[in-house]
C-alpha cells in the first residue's frame, strides 16, 4: 500500500496541489478491523489492507480523492451534528462530496440517490439521513465504485466516521492549505467557492456558550472560617466564591419559525450540555410564555406549543422576575423591541436565525446584550 500511495501522491504533487497537501498532514496507518477501505480523522489516514489489496490502482486513487475532498471540507474535524449517529454523519459526508466533486472515474453516493435536494450542507444532509434511518427509509445509495464496499457494507458509513472529533488546530491547518491554493486541479469552481467560504468565521457554539457563561457566571462571595484571610490568616474570616449559572433559554415558537428551524434551535440547547451547563430552563414563547421546562440532559424530542405572533417582552419579564443570570433568545427577530425592566441584570445573548434578522434588529438588540447569527440549513 505504501508504494501505491506514494506513487499517487507523486502524481498529485503537480496536478492536484490541495489534495496532495491535505493528505500529507495525515499519517498513513493500516487497520484491518474497519468495514470501509479508507477513513480519516485524528491526523490519520487509515486503510484496510484486505479491502485495498482487492482494489485496482484507479479505484484506490478515486477512494483517496474522496478522503482528500472530505478533509478539505473538514468534516472529520468539525462538531458533530446534534442528534445524528455516526452512520448518518458518514453517509452525509459522502453526499456532500458526491454533490460537489466529479471526476471521470469517480463514483460516490449523491443526494438524488436518497431523494434529497442538492446544494445543501453537511449538517442538513446528516439530519435528513438520520430522519430516513429513524423512519426505516433511505435510498439504495450510489454504486460506490470499485472496491468502495467493505465486507460489512451496512457498517461502512459508521466506521467511516469513527475517528471524527472536533479539532480546532487541524481545522486551522486545513484552512491554511485552502487559503494558500494557487491551482485547484480537478476541484471545480463551485467546490473551490465552498472551501473558500468555509474560511469565514462560523459560529462555534462551544466558544459562544463558554464565553457567555463566563460573562454571566455568578460570583457570590461568602465569608468563611475555612479559608484564611490573605492578610491576617485565620484571625479574620476569609471568603470563597460559589460559581453557578442560572440559565434560561427562550425559544421563539411563533408561526414565522419553521418546524425544521425549531428542531435546530433545540439542537443548540442540547449542545449547551457539552459546554459547561448542568441544567437549563427552557421556555417556549410567542405572544406569551407557553411552556417552562427544566432540562438536565439531552432531550431528543420536545413538544412544540404555540405558533402565534411574537413578543420578546414576555421572556424578558420572566427572566427578570425569576432572577436568571443569563438569557439566550433564539428567534427570527419578527417582533417589536422590548422594554428592559428597571434593575434588569440578566445577560442576554440574541441568537438570530439569519443575517437579515440580525441586521434588521442589531441596533436595539446590542443595547441589551450580545448578538450572533445561527446559519440554518
Model pLDDT for residues 132-159, shown as the tens digit of each residue: 887 654 443 333 333 333 334 448 999 9
Q: Which three cell numbers stand for residue 70?
A: 472530505
Q: Secondary structure of the chain: what % helix, strand, coil (to 5)?
A: 40, 20, 40
Helix H or strand E encompassing 363 = helix 355-368
Q: Which of 197, 221, 245 is the last residue of a domain?
A: 197
CA nearest neighbour of 101 among 57, 146, 58, 67: 67
Q: Which of 149, 172, 197 is the last residue of a domain?
A: 197
Q: In the chain, how many domains are there?
A: 2
Q: Do 168 and 271 share a domain, yes or no?
A: no
φ, ψ of residue 308 to 5 degrees: the values are -100, -145
Q: Do 63 and 151 share a domain, yes or no?
A: yes
With a cut of 60, say whether residue 93 has pLDDT above it. Answer: yes
Q: Which of 155, 171, 197 is the last residue of a domain?
A: 197
Give the model confidence (pLDDT) of 198-241 as tens digits: 876 555 555 666 667 666 654 444 545 555 555 555 455 454 54
With a cut of 60, say whether residue 344 has pLDDT above it. Answer: yes
CATH code of the domain in which 369 resides: 3.40.50
* Distance separating alpha carbons of residues 261 and 55, to the nearest angstrom: 43
The 3-state secondary structure of 43-109, one letter per residue: CEEEECHHHHCCCCHHHHHHHHHHHHHHHHCCHHHCCCCCCCCHHHHHHHHHHHHHHHCCCCCCCCC
Q: Do 210 and 188 share a domain, yes or no?
A: no
128 vs 69, 125, 354, CA distance in Å?
Answer: 22, 5, 21
What pLDDT does residue 269 have? 66
Helix (H, G, I), strand (E, B) or coil at 215: helix
Q: Do 73 and 148 share a domain, yes or no?
A: yes
* Distance separating alpha carbons of residues 345 and 324, to the nearest angstrom: 8
With a cut of 70, say whether residue 34 has pLDDT above it. Answer: yes
**CA 286 to chain CA mean position, Å:** 27
Lowest mean pLDDT among 67-71, 186-190, 357-361: 357-361
Which residue matches cell numbers 506514494?
6
Higher pLDDT, 46 or 307: 46
Contact 108, 145 (CB under 8 A): yes
DSSP 278: S
**CA 75 to chain CA mean position, Å:** 9
The 3-state secondary structure of 110-148, one letter per residue: CHHHHCCCCCCCHHHHHHHHHHHHHCCCCCCCCCCCCCC
Helix (H, G, I), strand (E, B) or coil at 42: coil
Q: Do 228 and 185 share a domain, yes or no?
A: no
Q: Do 191 and 303 share a domain, yes or no?
A: no
Q: Do 180 and 144 share a domain, yes or no?
A: yes
Q: Which residues does residue 233 pair with via DSSP β-bridges, in sequence order?
A: 229
Q: Which domain holds residue 338?
A: 206-373
DSSP 153: G
**pLDDT band at 253; cut points 50, 70, 90:** confident
**pLDDT band at 270; cut points 50, 70, 90:** low
* Distance separating alpha carbons of residues 200 and 136, to the nearest angstrom: 37
What pLDDT does residue 356 have? 77
Q: Do 185 and 225 share a domain, yes or no?
A: no
Q: Do 187 and 217 share a domain, yes or no?
A: no
With a cut of 50, say whether residue 44 has pLDDT above it. Answer: yes
Amino acid at each position: 500500500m505504501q508504494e501505491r500511495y506514494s506513487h499517487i501522491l507523486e502524481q498529485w504533487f503537480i496536478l492536484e496541489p490541495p489534495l496532495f497537501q491535505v493528505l500529507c498532514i495525515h499519517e498513513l496507518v493500516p487497520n484491518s478491523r474497519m468495514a470501509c477501505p479508507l477513513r480519516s480523522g485524528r491526523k490519520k489516514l487509515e486503510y484496510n489492507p484486505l479491502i485495498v489489496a482487492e482494489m485496482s490502482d484507479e479505484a484506490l486513487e478515486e477512494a483517496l480523492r474522496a478522503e482528500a475532498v472530505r478533509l478539505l471540507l473538514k468534516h472529520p474535524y468539525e462538531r458533530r451534528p446534534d442528534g445524528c449517529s455516526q452512520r448518518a454523519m458518514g453517509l452525509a459526508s459522502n453526499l456532500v462530496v458526491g454533490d460537489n466533486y466529479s471526476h471521470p472515474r469517480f463514483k460516490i453516493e449523491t443526494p438524488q440517490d436518497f431523494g434529497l435536494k442538492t446544494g445543501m450542507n453537511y449538517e442538513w444532509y446528516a439530519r435528513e439521513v438520520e430522519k430516513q434511518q429513524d423512519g426505516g427509509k433511505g435510498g439504495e445509495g450510489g454504486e460506490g465504485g470499485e472496491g468502495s464496499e467493505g465486507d460489512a457494507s451496512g457498517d461502512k458509513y459508521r466506521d467511516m466516521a469513527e475517528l471524527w472529533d472536533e479539532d480546532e488546530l487541524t481545522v486551522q491547518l486545513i484552512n491554511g492549505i485552502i487559503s494558500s491554493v494557487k491551482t485547484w486541479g480537478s476541484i471545480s469552481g463551485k467546490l473551490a467557492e465552498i472551501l473558500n467560504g468555509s474560511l469565514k468565521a462560523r459560529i462555534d457554539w462551544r466558544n459562544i456558550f463558554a464565553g457567555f457563561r463566563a460573562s454571566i457566571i455568578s460570583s457570590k462571595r461568602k465569608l468563611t472560617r475555612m479559608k484564611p484571610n490573605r492578610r491576617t490568616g485565620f484571625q479574620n474570616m476569609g471568603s470563597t466564591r460559589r460559581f453557578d449559572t442560572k440559565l434560561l433559554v427562550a425559544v421563539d415558537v411563533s408561526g414565522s419559525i419553521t418546524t425544521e428551524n425549531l428542531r435546530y434551535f433545540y439542537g443548540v440547547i442540547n449542545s449547551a450540555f457539552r459546554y459547561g451547563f448542568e441544567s437549563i430552563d427552557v421556555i417556549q414563547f410567542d405572544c406569551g410564555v407557553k411552556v417552562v421546562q427544566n432540562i438536565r440532559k439531552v432531550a431528543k424530542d420536545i413538544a412544540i406549543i404555540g405558533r402565534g405572533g411574537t413578543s420578546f417582552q414576555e421572556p424578558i419579564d420572566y427572566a427578570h422576575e425569576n432572577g436568571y443570570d443569563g438569557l439566550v433568545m433564539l428567534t427570527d427577530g419578527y417582533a417589536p423591541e422590548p422594554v428592559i425592566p428597571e434593575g434588569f441584570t440578566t445577560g442576554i445573548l440574541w441568537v438570530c436565525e439569519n443575517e437579515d434578522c440580525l441586521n434588521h434588529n442589531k441596533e436595539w438588540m446590542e443595547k441589551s446584550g450580545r448578538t450572533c447569527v445561527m446559519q440554518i440549513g
